[in-house]
Amino acid sequence: MQIGGSGALIGGGASGLGAATARRLHDGGAHVVIVDRDEEHGTELAGELGERASFVAGDVTDPDAVQAAVDVATGQPVPLRIAVSCAGIGWAGRVVGRRGVHALEPFETVIRVNLIGTFNIMRLAAAVMVANEPTESGERGVCVNTASIAAFDGQIGQIAYSASKGAIVSMTLPAARDLAQYGIRVNTIAPGLFETPMVAALSPEVQQSLGASVPYPSRLGQPEEFAALVEHIATNRFLNGEVIRLDGALRMAPR
């Protein structure tokens, strides 16, 4: 898939991994549409990127909001061929702990944003990709989803987050198989510890400690490194149905 001359939809693209991805694809010549609840930063980023960049305010779990973003993307002079899902939230809580039993509402919320939001972006983007004119190689599109190494190495207190990210891992292969007949690929990135707004909220000492726990390189991942992998997935035609850990060989301890 060529980046230049393609439309790209990025869920959760106003900050963190999504914003880095929007910049990378835009730099590569894509027409980028960002959908995010964060109107301030989303508008700011689209303004920074300028021509070939649009922002649509909306929740990725809202079918109407995502459809509106897809409509903006399909209204561009190039076909929508790339969909990236980066929106996600976390929640700390044990199944049963000192504060009692894990409440159901936050579990449902994490599943809704992380899993259902990802599926919502993928399904609605793929629905228009199937009508694309195939490239010379037969491709019509590519979807890149974001899981986490917590899907494999879930820590104490990560029951909701790990469940949501594990489900994204599990739907990668069936989604790729579902869409293979249309020339649409599906892959997932499972990042480790990255410099994101979630991590930025921690103290510098905690951030340094987290970075030191990574075998090599012993630091937090940079959003630009995530974006570079998105770009590679988009351009590597044989990469399909895969979950790729991007974690510096980190395997999370129980706590």
Q: Catalytic residue at 182?
A: no
Q: Is the peptide bond before 217 cis (omega within 30 degrees of 0)?
A: yes
Q: Cα separation of 217 and 100, whole Å?
A: 39
- pLDDT (0 to 100) of residue 49: 97
| Domains present along the chain, CATH in parentheses | 7-245 (3.40.50.720)
d(CA 8, CA 80): 6
d(CA 106, CA 110): 6
Please identify which residue in the block is written with the tokens 């079918």. 63
What is the predicted pLDDT for the residue at 200?
Answer: 81
pLDDT at 165: 98
CB 125 within 8 A of CB 83: yes
User: In angstroms, rounded to a whole number, what is the distance separating the alpha carbons of residues 215 and 35?
Assistant: 34
Sign of CA dihedral 245, 196, 121, 90: positive
Q: So what's the pLDDT on residue 132?
A: 97
Q: Which DSSP letter does residue 111 get?
A: I
C-alpha 34/C-alpha 13 separation (Å) is 5
> For 21-50, how does the pLDDT look when each residue is reduced to its tens digit (9 = 90+)?
999 999 999 999 999 999 999 999 999 999
- For 18, other C-beta atoms within 10 Å of its C-beta total 30
Dihedral angle computed from the Cα positions of residues 104, 105, 106 and 108, in that order, rounded to the nearest 10 degrees: 80
Question: Which of 251, 254, 122, 105 shows the shortest CA–CA distance to 175?
Answer: 122
Q: Tell me how crowded residue 123 is: count the other CB atoms within 10 A of its CB.
A: 16
Rounded Cα distance, 255 and 253, in Å:
5
pLDDT < 50 stretches in the chain:
none
- H helices of 83-158, where? 104-110, 117-129
Q: What is the pLDDT of residue 1?
A: 87
Q: Which residues pair with 153 in a beta bridge?
A: none
Catalytic residue among 91, 107, 119, 161: 161
Q: Is 155 helix (H, G, I), strand (E, B) or coil?
A: coil
